[in-house]
Structure 1
Amino acid sequence: MKKLTLILLCIATLGLASCKKDTIVQNGANNLTIIKYIEPSAWQSSSDGFTLTASLSESRIDPRTFENDAILVYISRGDGNFYEQLPFVYDVQAYSYSVSQGRIDIDIQSSDFQEAIPDRPTSRTRVKIVLIESFQD
């Protein structure tokens, strides 16, 4: 009886081990990184002076990308060797962004109104936009 059980176990093990295994390899990343720059003169003040806004046109934010994909924005203040993901607060300045089809608006505002009017950037600002593909169910 033990021999029969052992033989059946060996046959079952060999049968299961020979099952086909599929490996799916994708042909590249489903994301896109875009680098843009904002010159100091591109920052526009709101009518009350409490918000500075810079607009970036980006044709790759089409209706499908706008509705389905993740859109991440990072900035490098002063075009330095670092990026900070938006939104964030630095030195009482709140940095945020909004996305619409074909466009990203980056805003700078006071985070607590200790200084109601934000400081205008005096050097070029590098912006990294990352589009991560996704699909709606």
Structure 2
Amino acid sequence: MKKLILLLLCTATLGLASCKKDTIIQDTPNRTYNFTIQPNQWVLSADGYNYTYEWRNSIIDEITVDDEGVLVYASHPVNSSSYIQLPYTYDANAYSYELFVGGIAIDIQTSDNQDTNPVKPTKPILVKVVVIPSKYAGN
């Protein structure tokens, strides 16, 4: 019985001592970009139905548009220390974005059928763009 316990103890000791801990560090491939839109940078469309700001950046390339995920956040109109993901509606203004090769267009239009003129922001809006890489999986 002593020999069996000793054999099990030796086997367990050798088994546990031979284990090697592998530390796996995964790189986060997501990219985050921050910028500020000043109130004077919003451009009113010719028909007067929406304000647009275009963020031009070469990081939004054809692969980003076709294959990757893009999230856009804007600072809250009342509490600038928090972010809201676009699209969203606040105080009858609908905020949305359009992704194109070379940048992102952020639009403000009214969600009120009675008043079709959107309200231009009066203070800077902080914007956060998160690009999430992805590999095209096919059909």
Aligned to 2:105: 105
Q: Retained in 2: the 8 A contact 1:92–1:115?
A: no
Deviates more, 1:25-34 or 1:62-71: 25-34
1:24-71, CA deviations, whole angstroms, 9 ceiling, x for partnerless residues?
935410201100111111100011111000110121111112211101
Q: Retained in 2: the 8 A contact 1:92–1:114?
A: no
Aligned to 1:92: 92
Identity of aligned residues (%): 38
CA–CA distance in structure 1, aligned partners of residues 90 and 105 of structure 2: 18
Q: Retained in 2: the 8 A contact 1:93–1:111?
A: yes
CA–CA distance in structure 2, aligned partners of residues 100 and 24 of structure 1: 39
Local SS of the residue matching 2:89: strand
**1:1-80 equivalent positions in 2, closer than 5 A:** 25=24, 27-78=26-77, 80=80
Q: TM-score, normalised by structure 2?
A: 0.77
CA–CA distance in structure 2, aligned partners of residues 136 and 111 of structure 1: 35
CA–CA distance in structure 1, aligned partners of residues 107 and 52 of structure 2: 5
* Runs of 5+ consecutive residues of structure 2 not aligned to the other structure: 1-21
CA–CA distance in structure 1, aligned partners of residues 67 and 23 of structure 2: 23
* Runs of 5+ consecutive residues of structure 1 not aligned to the other structure: 1-22
Aligned to 1:115: 115
CA–CA distance in structure 1, aligned partners of residues 112 and 120 of structure 2: 17
CA–CA distance in structure 2, aligned partners of residues 26 and 61 of structure 1: 27
1:127 aligns with 2:127: yes
